[in-house]
Structure 1
């Protein structure tokens, strides 16, 4: 089985989580949605937790790739963190894939609320910590770094929930102030 199959399985998992919720996320349902046998799914992911960790790792991979592209085009980590989706650009599909991965991942955490932190929670914590560490490294003022992080998280959450975004010129002024331009 190829990495295409692995991605197809993770895509199916995301779709199940987003459309039907964590309660419907069984190995059988994921395998059926991906068009593979349960054995084929287990070839790539040895357990449900391994499947969920794979989802979180792909989220981290997508974020690292997007950040790398942003850095290559001259953006700072803070600018990347504060970005909003722009439906008029080709990159929007890449960004929306990242949002979709994060929302699906959040649904898995929701299902395990109240239990002891497990492998999936630790994997998500590691992804989020890496984003924070990069921001802390770039921004010399820790309070400003936290403000950027909180604003970026709020913008991200609004996009995930499909809420209207702040008027673009006004948001640009917010970003400029946070970046001290």
Structure 2
């Protein structure tokens, strides 16, 4: 699959979701926004559900790359999960945009999009669960990380850096 065309298509669907919402996203609108024919779009994604699920999976791939880089740099999975967002980091901004678009697309409880989102979130959870033996502690880390990420997505004020460091230290038993 031509990743350049695929990424242009997925960038287009993200932009349309952010600008207009899921009800206004059509295959024709995505093809126009991406600068491809409808047939070209259908070559990569055979329907709207597959297109939206592809966007979710790309979000997971982007996050997995960020996680792998963080672990390679010596950060634990839990530390990565609990890190505040960085609005000056181009990769983090792309991840935020993807997450916002994904949140706007998940509207059906039993769709391919919902299943893709569950798969992505479970893969993140499993990394924390493998790293932290206590399942209750792992769940607390997940919930706090989700709250930090949601706050960043909503543009809420960043937590005080020293207080954040203390929270992470306590959660991770340091």
**Residues 7-18 of structure 1: pairs in structure 2 closer than 5 A:** 7-18=7-18
1:135 to 128, 132, 136: 128
Residues 6-56 of structure 1 deviation map (CA, whole Å, 9 limit, x = unaligned): 001000100110111111110011111111111111111111111011101
SS at match of 2:85: coil
After TM superposition, what 4+ stretches of structure 1 lie above 4 angstroms from structure 2? none
Query: Is residue 49 of structure 2 the alignment partner of residue 49 of structure 1?
Result: yes
Do 2:86 and 2:93's aligned partners in 1 also have CA atoms closer than 8 Å?
no
**Residues 111-122 of structure 1: pairs in structure 2 closer than 5 A:** 111-112=107-108, 116-122=109-115
Unmatched tracts of structure 2, length 5 or more: none
Q: Distance in 1 between matches of 2:37 and 2:65?
A: 30
TM-score after normalising by structure 2: 0.95
Which residue is equivalent to 2:141?
148
Q: Distance in 2 between matches of 1:132 and 1:19?
A: 30
Which residue is equivalent to 1:84?
84
SS at match of 2:62: helix
Residues 115-142 of structure 1 deviation map (CA, whole Å, 9 limit, x = unaligned): x511111111011111111111100111
1:171 to 154, 164, 168: 164
Which residue is equivalent to 1:61?
61
Cα offset for 1:2? 2.3
Q: Distance in 1 between matches of 2:127 and 2:100?
A: 22
TM-score after normalising by structure 1: 0.92
Q: Distance in 2 between matches of 1:135 and 1:99?
A: 20
Do 2:22 and 2:105's aligned partners in 1 also have CA atoms closer than 8 Å?
yes
Cα offset for 1:177? 0.9
Deviates most, 67-76 or 116-125: 116-125
Aligned residues: 174
Q: Distance in 2 between matches of 1:105 and 1:71?
A: 25
Cα offset for 1:87? 3.9
Query: Is residue 6 of structure 2 the alignment partner of residue 6 of structure 1?
Result: yes
